Structure 1
Amino acid sequence: MAVNWAGLISIGVFYIVVLGTGIWASRKSKREERKCTGNRSEVAMVGGRNLNLCVSIFTMTATWVGGGYILGNAEVVYDPTKGLVWATGPIAYVITLVVGALFFVKPIRSKNYVTLMDPFQEKYGNTVAAVLFIPALIGDILWIACVLGALGGTVSVVMDISSSLAVGISAAVAVIYTLMGGLYSVAYTDVIQLSFMFIGLWLCVPFILVSPSSANITVAAVTKLYQEPWIGKLEPEDAGRWVDDILLMGIGGLCYQAFYQRILSTATDTQAKITCYAGAVLCPILAVPSLIIGATAASTNWNQTHFGSPSPYEQGKAGMILPIALQYLCPFYVSLVAMGALAAAVMSSVDSALLSASSQLGRNIFKNIIYKKASEKMILVVVKVSVLLCGTMAAVLAMTAKSIHLFWILSGDVVYSMMTPQVVCTFYLSRWVNHYGACSGFVLAIVLRVLVGEPLLGLPDILPLPWDKIQEDGHRYRLFPFRTAIMLITIGTILLASRLAAWVSEKRLLKRISGAETHTNIHYMAPAQKDVEEKEIEYDYAPGTDSGAGCGKGIHC
């Protein structure tokens, strides 16, 4: 195949702009670090807790509107077995951001936490928190693999180069500027990336809609033309699965460190909530172009295009339908701009997930468990090494991706089944749970999820589920909302096992629980202190308290 040099140059220019922005932002990060008299590593993790409101809104929105979101929505609408009614991403992300603003901004900011793992270490201790960190890390790496795979497939389709090469270059650029400036680089590059994304995707929509190879999408929505109507069907028996998919991404999204990193980086609780509400409005708007492109692709006679026959779906390329539509239904110069938009979508999520995973590895694992006497310089080194390692692992996974939607769902699946019960119990049921219950729930969630099986991973479905429907290929189509059921059962198990452990400890058959978990071994800085001192804090969240803002107002720097 002939390499599309014009396309490569356009993508190269975009990467240079993003990298330049990241380098500029890294200088701001260095200035903030020099101002801090305490924990300099927190500047890299939460940006000094003084991000501009506008920048916060951009980075929150760009974090969720990634490659998996953009390509996944188009894939679902185009897929004749699914359709628009199964494009649950926009609804789910609205739920994530609204629920997060209403119920999780206050408790996570009340004690100036830095990562989502901080309250777990405060409540259960280092060992249990380290175990609970495993699904969070897996979820982040799968998320990065999802969006890198999205870009790799996109570039390989449009630019006629190796998908692996595209993944490697994109991962390298994201890793470089994340290493250099931490959250500042991530946030300020998100402003550029979201702008490219918005302009590029909306620019290509009119050209695709008027393509001579495509029928009227309003007619194809309800009438079978070249494939099944793209609006899709939602039978009453599918309601449980539909709700399960929404809750998987909507509630599961509250368990990603990337979300908390954004709300912890703002100056006040009010700004954090505004950031969430603004993101809840912008995320669905940015989904509209990909939904339209998916609908147009489903209304297209591909025999009349240079793509030819069989159709993308028949060739197993539904996951790449958005770049295919850009290449064959748009003028060349428009597809180049749209490619920049897709690259922006990918980069904006990759850097966020890289920083969130590495922040927890550096602070919660290395500093609080492995080497408690680690200096700030050493923590920063570990964070940067973690960025490199996580980026490498995700890039390797992305090179094997066959379905973007698979990694997107799988990442949410791991986090939803295993982390959501722990987050809910730690923040809102903390008086009734202990580390015995947390461990019991964690183990049960793993066992149940493995027994239910996962055909996409080759896991056999051992545990029978109600309402299953056997497909022609012999696989069971799951109508029962099993993920939500596992999540609720896990919450019940955590509460029950905790109460049982508490009762047994009262009978002096177990080491007494009360007192062992009342105080944290995480070190905080009192508001009036200039030197870092140890301070024990009770784990119960005190309603009505507010968090500090900026350096010297109750945070570590």
Structure 2
Amino acid sequence: MAANWLGLLSIGVFYLIILGTGIWASKKARHEENKSPGSRSEVAMVGGRNLNIWVSIFTMTATWVGGGYILGNAEVVYDPTKGLVWAIGPFAFAMNLVLGGLFFIKPIRSKNYVTLMDPFQEKYGNTVGAVLFIPALMGDILWVACILELRIVVMDVSSSLAVGISASVAILYTLMGGLYSVAYTDVIQLSFMLIGLWLCVPFILTSPHAANFTVAAVTNVHQENWLGKLEPEDTGRWIDDILLLGIGGICYQAFYQRVLSTATDAQAKMTCYAGAVLCPILGIPSLIIGAVAASTNWNQTTYGSPSPYEQGKAGMILPIALEHLCPFYISVVGIGSLAASVMSSADSALLSSASQLGRNIFKNIASEKTILVVVKVSVLLCGLMGMALAMTTSSVHLFWVVSADVLYSMMSPQVICIFFLPRWVNQYGACSGFVLALLLRALVGEPLIGLPDVLPLPWDKIQEDGHRHRLFPFRTAIMLATIGTILLVSQLAEWLERLLKRDAGRERNAYYLAKIQMDVERQQNKQKFNIFFSHIMKRYSNEHLCIKHTDDGIYQFGTF
């Protein structure tokens, strides 16, 4: 137990360093509020748009390299049903940041937006913008749950306590300083991750309980080889997963929060490209640890038999490997790195959802001071919801994929249309696309969360448990179908609107023409009567015959 208390003490010191950095950064944020031309809420959300370029690079990388990324990579490589070939995170995240730098920085920065929801509300109005905020909020909460899914098994601490401590620290300093606290603590956290994870690699590789992991890459030593295989029939699903993570990331407010916090477009692009290089570098240690874990005879370790995979703990293979394959003092450093990865993304996701809620939902009905209160309350509530979800399952990869799935299917079509096809879309198309994506994704189902797979798709395989094994790239298909629906319904709505206006114009024109014709006919008749009566007057000029023209157009004859 003494060793465990020593480990807990080291993690406590790490948390104190992070918390101290967050408090210092919160003071810097208050100083920035006094000199920034923007509002206080903008300083909290985008750091006054003058964040240091190096801090920006660190916070962008740390946001992407979270608990889901680190633990998920190791889980996939260790899982005998998947392997390295399915560990697409490093490549997909690099792809995501490159695409963001190339195509999405200019449209979001051109009008000084603060959140991703701003262009939606500007184009579609507040109501539709609020509806589209729902999947963005769901994605952030699932992301929080994913990155809080860290079990500090090395320290012999319960899962609930481990998640609660990490989340509490992240919530506290995010409440205090907004983006400044998040960004500057990310610098410390990323440094811990970079040093700590790479420090563990030599000790993992030289563990006496692990076989040669290069041999285990292609040979079934203690389980299926960790390289894995990609069958031709699985190619569509593999590409679908890459696009899911590679394109789905452009829908996270956390990404735009960082590119909006820099002073210039060039700095924003540099932030993305540097992050695209650093993400794979930080992902390599977890891939190696997952490969060594797949090459280990666990019966010879202090973990014993059955193996973590057989006990359903593949999602926690990285901390398990650190505990049983590394010296204790090294495992302490490794667990510190995992704690850093948890908070580095947890704070970003919390601030992301809170910023959109405060600015885009309450902006028009609340004062500046109230918006800041809403942001802080939202940070707390989203953190609590993420904690609750994180305690429901042991699979980090599950939350990681489901979070990106929600945004890829529902939000990426909306983001692409609002930035690159704004002239051809409107609120009717946006709402129709949202409903279609939600309906199709629900019908396709998701066995991981108990959602039944109702809709049959091409290439489906029925498994023994009755579930459909999807081989068709349905997420990308839903995304493309949603884009098509948004464009089609938008153009149809505009055509109907023009048609109705044209018909209404014709009715008005017909009314005015009929009125003009009646006035002309009345004038002509009056002229004819005048000519006729003038002849009568001339003929009966000696008689006292009078003609009286009344106001209603009637001629009366007689002597008056």
Q: Give the TM-score normalised by structure 1.
A: 0.89
Structure 2 counterpart of 1:242: 238
| Residue in 1 that maps onto 2:142 | 142
Partners of 2:117 and 2:177 in 1: CA distance: 22
1:192 alignment partner AA? I
For 2:136, give the aligned amino acid.
A
Which residue in 1 is equivalent to 2:468?
476
User: Could you tell me how far 1:511 is from its partner in structure 2?
Assistant: 13
What residue is the counterpart of 1:508 in the other structure?
500
* Residue 191 of structure 2 corresponds to residue 199 of structure 1: no
Identity %: 79
CA distance in 1: counterparts of 2:138 and 2:25, whole angstroms:
28
1:437-475 Cα distance to aligned partner (Å, 9 max, x none): 000000000000011111112111111011112233332
1:310 partner SS:
coil
1:338 lines up with 2:330 in the alignment = no
Q: Which residue of 1 aligns with 2:268?
A: 272
Structure 1 residues 84-483: aligned runs within 5 Å: 84-149=84-149, 151=150, 153=151, 155=152, 157-368=153-364, 371=365, 374-483=366-475
Would you say the 8 A contact 2:83–2:226 is kept in 1?
A: yes
Return the offset for 1:171. Answer: 1.0
- What are the Cα deviations for residues 19-65 of structure 1, in whole angstroms up to 9, with x where unaligned? 00000000000001111354111000000111111100000000000
Structure 1 residue runs without a partner (length 5+)? 513-557
Deviation, structure 1 residue 165 = 1.1
Match in the other structure for 2:510: none
Q: Deviations over 1:252-274 (max 9, x none)?
A: 00000000000000010000000
Partner-residue secondary structure (3-state), 2:218: coil
Give, in angstroms, the shift of residue 170 of structure 1.
1.1
Query: C-alpha distance in 2, partners of 1:2/1:230?
Result: 36
Q: Following TM superposition, by how much is the alpha carbon of 1:166 offset from its aligned partner in structure 2, in angstroms?
A: 1.2
Query: Any idea what SS the aligned residue of 2:148 has?
Result: helix
Question: Is 1:66 paired with 2:66?
Answer: yes
**Partners in 2 of 1:34 and 1:168 — Cα distance?**
34
Q: Deviations over 1:220-262 (max 9, x none)?
A: 0001100011000001111000000011111000000000000
Bigger mean CA offset, 471-480 vs 138-147: 471-480
Specify the alignment match of 1:497 in structure 2: 489
Using a 3 Å threshold, how does the CA distance of structure 1 residues 396 and 509 change in structure 2: closer, same or farther? farther
Instruction: Name whichever structure is richer in helix by fraction.
Output: 2
Q: Is the 8 A contact 1:3 1:161 kept in 2?
A: no
1:31 alignment counterpart: 31
- Structure 2 residue aligned with 1:82: 82
Which ranges of structure 2 fall in alignment gaps of 5 or more residues? 505-560
Tell me how far 1:2 sits from its aligned partner.
Answer: 8.8
> Structure 1 residues 225, 38: CA separation in 2 closer, same or farther (over 3 Å shift)?
closer
Q: Secondary structure at the match of 1:507?
A: helix
Give the 3-state SS of the residue equivalent to 2:500 in structure 1: coil
CA distance, structure 2, for counterparts of residue 43 and residue 423 of structure 1: 24
Partner of 1:541 in structure 2? none
Cα distance between partner residues in 2 of 1:238 and 1:27: 52
Looking at structure 2, the residues matched to 161 and 288 of structure 1 have their Cα atoms a distance apart, in angstroms, of: 27
Equivalent residue letter for 2:120: F
Aligned to 1:537: none
Does the 8 A contact of 1:213 with 1:302 survive in 2? yes
> Where does residue 52 of structure 1 map in the other structure?
52
**How many pairs are equivalent?**
504
- Separation (CA, whole Å) in 2 of partners of 1:311 and 1:22: 40
Structure 1 match to 2:537: none
Give the 3-state SS of the residue equivalent to 1:465 in structure 2.
Answer: coil
Cα contact 2:38–2:48 (8 A) shared by 1: no
Deviation at 1:168, TM superposition (A): 1.2
**Compared with structure 1, are the counterparts of its residues 86 and 185 closer, same or farther at alpha carbon in structure 2 (3 Å cutoff)?**
same
Matched residue, 2:547? none
3-state SS of 1:219 partner: coil
Whole-angstrom CA distance in 2 between matches of 1:480 and 1:441: 21
Say if 1:81 and 1:42 are closer, same or farther in 2 by CA, change over 3 A: same
Structure number with higher relative contact order (C-alpha < 8 Å, ≥ 6 residues apart): 1
